[in-house]
Chain A
Amino acid sequence: MAMRAHTSPMARRCMIGAAVVALTAATGCGGGDSGDDAAADASCKPSSGKVTLQYWSWVPGMQEAVDLWNGQNPDVQVKLKTTPAGNAGTYQNMSNALKADKAPDLGQIEYDSLASFRLKGGLRDIAQCPGVSEAQEKFVDWTRSQVDFGAGGEDGIWAVPQDTGPMAMFYRKDVFDKLGIEAPTTWEEYAAAAREVKQDGKYITHFSQTDPNWFTGLLWQNQATMFERDGDAWKVTVDRPESRQVADYWQKLIDDELVATDLQGFSPALYKAWNSGEVVTWVSAAWGYSTIRDNAKSTEGKWAVAPMPQWDAGDQRAGNWGGSTTAVLSGTEHPAEAAEFALWLNTDPEALEILNREGGLYPAAKAGLDLPALKQPVDFYGKQKIFDVFAQASADVDTDFTWGPTMTDTYRFLSDGTAGAVGGEGTLGDVLKQTQSQSVDSLRKQSLDVAD
């Protein structure tokens, strides 16, 4: 009963207290927004004493690499958080964390999202950190221009390349042999093969609206960069002759019903179609080898890998699909140690071996391309040394391709548009046109200058 006597006044006080807290919180969290000038202090001095770094990544098996580092570096301990994949929520979490000053020291960020994080003031320039600029030549050329935003180091270095997705063509060698077709070397031959394969009741490939970044890989091959920087402004170049060429080509395949448009990327239905032999090629990234291997077991020994078909016979161009960096985020108090770890993680042979074995990463470090595992013949692919093809592709990726700062939106527009085009509303060319204007709007909404 004594308790009851106290309940009411206490509760009243609580309510008043809550209201006060609520009000202060409301005004408090209204204040600070993102974008403290991260570039202001670019100097990068090592910290003294023991350092603990927070690191977010979604690479399977990353913990093993981190354990290795922690064992060798008692003074710089890394704590790993395994997160969902970037676009599955981690990027949004990272943005929120940056807003709230709760971001980790290091984070996994894909190439196409680097610009957007730099735009938010989320990245730390590590050009001045010990060893970083010297290490640049250890990475495949095109990845360097991604992390220095194409300025060759004049404009800072904003991340350490981790893995890449140079593209090539996986194809059912047995089916091609049976039909007496060579592996197509040009897109024209690819379309011809598509017609022959169709006569045999099969599809050359699937065309999915859920993989807009696959499509941008194709644009990349044709040097159809989607964004350019023009001084202080951005230029949207989604709709341009090179991208139109790609779009019109695939539109033709769609119109002629030579590609399966009802199969989405990474779907059980697609895997079934691979197993049954209904779909016979996949132009995909290096990491795709395990996707086929693990989901189309019944076709073991029947696949092979050839370079991406070319737009002009005799060319050697490849696109890139996916791949990540290890970025040092702007809130860190230990940029030097963070950069040191990021460099080690992505250049140390032992670390590279772990990430390749456990996480299936195709390394961005040149030395990584010589890993024993990447020199072996692969049983599933009829004992072909498939990674030689990807190593070549990696060297053939155009270095001038630039991602915009609002790729999430641009991908969304591409994806929505493609869904419409596949469903019969308009063409892929129209999609480029819409994506162009929608992307311009998107940039403006972020109050960025857009050059015409």
Chain B
Amino acid sequence: MSFLTRTEGAHAAAPGRRPAAGRLSVAAAVAFMTLAACYMLLPVYWLLVSATKSQSDLVSTPGLLPAEWHLGDNLTALFEQQDGVFGRWLLNSLLYAGVGAAIATFLAAAAGYALAKYTFTGREALFSVILGGVLVPATALALPLFLLFAEVDATNTFWSVFLPSVVSPFGVYLSRIFAAASVPDEVVEAARMDGAGELRIFCGIALRMMSPALVTVFLFQFVVIWNNFLLPLVMLQDDTLYPVTLGLFTWQSQTSRLPELQTLTIVGALVSVVPIVLTFLMLQRYWRAGLTAGAVKS
């Protein structure tokens, strides 16, 4: 039970008061969180186990129990299939999602900052229009976007998938709230008194104050782009441009004729989750308590 004692010890805020009840509620809390974690991880566990199986074991052995260990073989096969196209897909996804989300975050931060810290004609109307952008289903946007890019002869290019993903109306919404809350007006005014220009105030002061919130915006947009599959499906024909989700989908759609692709899809899915987890871990340290001072307060 050292687990629980340690937990209690960390609760410095409640020194010794109602120790029994406190320990009980901590235990209940940890139990609940553990249960929730099991719920979240059960399907992932299936993925993990399945990734270690050969194609024939995949259907003939119980899904949650490991069978003969084939992870190594599967990984080798994965990276050798079609001359190693999977590695290419991973790289593409990192570019689309990594660079795309970084730019999207920056644009959203600037727009959110402007909406929060300036008064100007049409501000609320503009904000409503931007929010309205969230209401449009991606299925309805894909075809018009394709025709638009076809007009300028840019379908089946890196840009046709990259450019539309730098738009994040949701990011603007979050940034506005975070900018309003975490960038005090006094700081902005003081900087102005010191003669700093608007751009410098934004880049030098506001961005830094908003940074924990922007990490959230980045992470969300990263995952949205990473998992986006409809737009690349419509835009791209060249499989060396595919992001990893579309590549896996292509394989999955061929499994009825080529069953060994099923294993590759599963192992590929497992591998494709790794960058998301790494990104999350890397960003995690920006979320330290207190940094988000005043965020999302009414």
Whether A82 and B259, one on each chain, are in contact in the complex, defined by CB atoms closer than 8 angstroms, is no
* Partner pick for B150 among A82, A85, A101, A291, CB 8 A cutoff: A101
Q: What is the minimal beta-carbon distance from A109 to any residue of chain B, in angstroms?
A: 15
What is the bound-complex CA distance between A92 and B239, given in angstroms?
17
Whether A298 and B60, one on each chain, are in contact in the complex, defined by CB atoms closer than 8 angstroms, is yes
Residues of B247-262 at the interface with A, using a CB-CB cut-off of 8 Å, are 249-250, 253-261
Closest A residue by C-beta to B150? A100
A99 proximity list for chain B (CB < 8 A): 147, 150
A-B contact count (CB 8 A): 108
Q: Is B7 an interface residue (CB 8 A)?
A: no
A102 proximity list for chain B (CB < 8 A): 150, 153, 155-156
The interface bits of chain B over 238-281 (1 if a CB of A lies within 8 angstroms of the residue's CB, else 0) are 11000000100110011111111100000000000000000000
Assuming A272-B59, A275-B60, is B253 touching A294 (CB within 8 A)? no
Closest B residue by C-beta to A3? B199
Q: What is the minimal beta-carbon distance from B77 to any residue of chain A, in angstroms?
A: 14
Closest B residue by C-beta to A292? B259
What is the bound-complex CA distance between A318 and B233, given in angstroms?
36
Closest B residue by C-beta to A100? B150
Residues of B37-70 at the interface with A, using a CB-CB cut-off of 8 Å, are 55-56, 58-60
Q: Is A23 an interface residue (CB 8 A)?
A: no
* Partner pick for A82 among B233, B239, B255, CB 8 A cutoff: B239
* Partner pick for B59 among A89, A101, A275, A290, CB 8 A cutoff: A275
The interface bits of chain B over 82-97 (1 if a CB of A lies within 8 angstroms of the residue's CB, else 0) are 1000000000000000
Closest A residue by C-beta to B143? A96
Q: Is A9 an interface residue (CB 8 A)?
A: no
Q: What is the minimal beta-carbon distance from A144 to any residue of chain B, in angstroms?
A: 24
* Partner pick for A81 among B234, B239, B249, B254, CB 8 A cutoff: B239
A83 proximity list for chain B (CB < 8 A): 237, 239, 250
* Partner pick for A60 among B153, B197, B257, CB 8 A cutoff: B257
A272 proximity list for chain B (CB < 8 A): 59-60
B238 proximity list for chain A (CB < 8 A): 81
The interface bits of chain B over 134-165 (1 if a CB of A lies within 8 angstroms of the residue's CB, else 0) are 00000000011011101101011000000000
B123 proximity list for chain A (CB < 8 A): none
Whether B146 and A100, one on each chain, are in contact in the complex, defined by CB atoms closer than 8 angstroms, is yes
Q: Is B200 an interface residue (CB 8 A)?
A: yes
Q: Is A84 an interface residue (CB 8 A)?
A: yes
Residues of A81-139 at the interface with B, using a CB-CB cut-off of 8 Å, are 81-85, 88-89, 92-93, 96-97, 99-102, 104
Whether B197 and A28, one on each chain, are in contact in the complex, defined by CB atoms closer than 8 angstroms, is no
Whether B254 and A58, one on each chain, are in contact in the complex, defined by CB atoms closer than 8 angstroms, is yes
Q: Is B198 an interface residue (CB 8 A)?
A: yes
* Partner pick for A100 among B155, B246, B254, CB 8 A cutoff: B155
The interface bits of chain B over 160-183 (1 if a CB of A lies within 8 angstroms of the residue's CB, else 0) are 000000000000000000000000
* Partner pick for A84 among B197, B253, B257, CB 8 A cutoff: B253
Question: Could you tell me how many residues of chain A have their Cβ less than 8 Å away from some Cβ of chain B?
Answer: 43
Whether A295 and B155, one on each chain, are in contact in the complex, defined by CB atoms closer than 8 angstroms, is no
Closest B residue by C-beta to A8? B198
Closest A residue by C-beta to B259? A294
Q: Is A72 an interface residue (CB 8 A)?
A: no
What is the bound-complex CA distance between A89 and B146, given in angstroms?
14
What is the bound-complex CA distance between A362 and B256, given in angstroms?
15
What is the bound-complex CA distance between A240 and B259, given in angstroms?
37
Whether A96 and B60, one on each chain, are in contact in the complex, defined by CB atoms closer than 8 angstroms, is no
Residues of A275-309 at the interface with B, using a CB-CB cut-off of 8 Å, are 275, 287, 290-291, 294-298
Whether A104 and B148, one on each chain, are in contact in the complex, defined by CB atoms closer than 8 angstroms, is no
Choose among A56, A271, A296, A359 the residue with the greatest number of B CB atoms under 10 Å from its CB: A271
A3 proximity list for chain B (CB < 8 A): 199
Q: What is the minimal beta-carbon distance from B205 to any residue of chain A, in angstroms?
A: 15
**Is the interface on chain B under 10, 10 to 19, 20 to 34, or 35 or more residues?**
35 or more
Closest B residue by C-beta to A56? B237
Q: What is the minimal beta-carbon distance from A208 to any residue of chain B, in angstroms?
A: 12
Q: What is the minimal beta-carbon distance from B42 to any residue of chain A, in angstroms?
A: 17
Whether A81 and B237, one on each chain, are in contact in the complex, defined by CB atoms closer than 8 angstroms, is yes
Whether B259 and A85, one on each chain, are in contact in the complex, defined by CB atoms closer than 8 angstroms, is no
Q: Is A29 an interface residue (CB 8 A)?
A: yes
What is the bound-complex CA distance between A85 and B261, given in angstroms?
13
B259 proximity list for chain A (CB < 8 A): 290-291, 294-295
Q: Is A446 an interface residue (CB 8 A)?
A: no
Choose among B144, B147, B238 the residue with the greatest number of A CB atoms under 10 Å from its CB: B147
Q: What is the minimal beta-carbon distance from B222 to any residue of chain A, in angstroms?
A: 24
Closest B residue by C-beta to A272? B59
Q: What is the minimal beta-carbon distance from B150 to any residue of chain A, in angstroms?
A: 3
Whether A29 and B198, one on each chain, are in contact in the complex, defined by CB atoms closer than 8 angstroms, is no
* Partner pick for A96 among B151, B234, B250, B256, CB 8 A cutoff: B234
Residues of A197-211 at the interface with B, using a CB-CB cut-off of 8 Å, are none
Q: Is A377 an interface residue (CB 8 A)?
A: no
A360 proximity list for chain B (CB < 8 A): 257-258
Q: What is the minimal beta-carbon distance from B63 to any residue of chain A, in angstroms?
A: 8
Closest B residue by C-beta to A61? B258
Whether A85 and B253, one on each chain, are in contact in the complex, defined by CB atoms closer than 8 angstroms, is yes
Choose among B56, B59, B60, B150 the residue with the greatest number of A CB atoms under 10 Å from its CB: B59
Q: Is A48 an interface residue (CB 8 A)?
A: no
Whether A29 and B59, one on each chain, are in contact in the complex, defined by CB atoms closer than 8 angstroms, is no
Assuming A7-B199, A287-B257, A359-B257, is B250 touching A82 (CB within 8 A)? yes
Q: Is A268 an interface residue (CB 8 A)?
A: yes
A88 proximity list for chain B (CB < 8 A): 249-250, 253
What is the bound-complex CA distance between A287 and B258, given in angstroms?
10
Whether A96 and B147, one on each chain, are in contact in the complex, defined by CB atoms closer than 8 angstroms, is yes
Whether A100 and B147, one on each chain, are in contact in the complex, defined by CB atoms closer than 8 angstroms, is yes
Whether B59 and A58, one on each chain, are in contact in the complex, defined by CB atoms closer than 8 angstroms, is no
Closest A residue by C-beta to B233? A89
Q: Is A4 an interface residue (CB 8 A)?
A: yes
**Besides A4-B200, A359-B257, 5 other CB < 8 A contacts?**
A25-B148, A89-B234, A99-B147, A100-B150, A297-B60
Instruction: List 29 contacting pairs A-B, 8 Å CB cutoff, sorted by A.
Output: A1-B197, A4-B197, A4-B198, A7-B199, A58-B250, A60-B257, A63-B82, A81-B237, A81-B239, A88-B253, A93-B237, A96-B150, A97-B155, A99-B150, A100-B155, A101-B150, A102-B153, A102-B155, A104-B237, A266-B256, A271-B60, A275-B59, A290-B259, A291-B256, A294-B55, A294-B56, A295-B56, A359-B258, A360-B257
Question: Nearest 8 pairs between A and B by C-beta?
Answer: A100-B150, A88-B253, A294-B259, A271-B59, A297-B56, A85-B253, A81-B237, A84-B253
